[in-house]
């Protein structure tokens, strides 16, 4: 059972039938927009197409609040130019210390 199940995640399994890796990346990205970030990260480990879809700016922009530009302005000055939406999401999801490190808040 395990061998046949692992064939599902590869492009074109040994028996010539399509596998999960044959799904177009843009279709996978559309599905990822309905999932939460931990689910997206777990599925990204399955194959190359899923990993590519999980890095799509469209997927991560759907997870960011509409005012994320304003949130970035509240943070200490940094250069956010050139960062992917996934990197911006990760940056906003981490804890930001304040009050001399005694407290922390998260934007997401």
Evaluate if residue 33 carries a pLDDT over 80: yes
- Say whether both 3 and 41 belong to one domain: yes
Give 43's pLDDT tier (boundaries 50, 70, 90).
very high
- Say whether both 72 and 52 belong to one domain: no
Give 14's pLDDT tier (boundaries 50, 70, 90).
low
- Say whether both 31 and 52 belong to one domain: yes
Evaluate if residue 2 carries a pLDDT over 50: no
Per-residue pLDDT averaged across 79-103, rounded? 86
Q: pTM for this structure?
A: 0.73
Parent domain of 83: 64-108
- Say whether both 43 and 77 belong to one domain: no
Per-residue pLDDT averaged across 28-37, rounded? 95
CA separation for the pair 85, 4 (Å, rounded): 36
Whose tokens are 């922390």? That residue is: 104
The number of distinct structural domains making up the chain is: 2
- Say whether both 51 and 3 belong to one domain: yes
CA separation for the pair 73, 78 (Å, rounded): 9
CA separation for the pair 50, 43 (Å, rounded): 7
Which ranges of 1-108 would DSSP assign to H, the alpha helix? 2-7, 25-32, 37-44, 48-54, 57-61, 68-74, 85-93
Evaluate if residue 74 carries a pLDDT over 70: yes
- Say whether both 5 and 40 belong to one domain: yes
Evaluate if residue 64 carries a pLDDT over 90: yes
């Amino acid at each position: 059972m395990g061998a046949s199940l692992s064939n599902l995640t590869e492009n074109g399994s040994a028996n010539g039938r399509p596998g999960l890796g044959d799904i177009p990346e843009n279709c996978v990205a559309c599905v990822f927009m309905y999932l939460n970030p931990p689910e997206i990260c777990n599925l990204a480990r399955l194959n190359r197409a899923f990993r590519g879809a999980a890095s799509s700016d469209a997927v991560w922009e759907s997870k960011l609040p509409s005012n994320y530009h304003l949130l970035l302005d509240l943070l200490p000055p940094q250069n956010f130019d050139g960062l992917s939406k996934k990197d911006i999401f990760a940056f906003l999801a981490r804890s930001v210390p304040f009050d001399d490190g005694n407290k922390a808040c998260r934007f997401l």
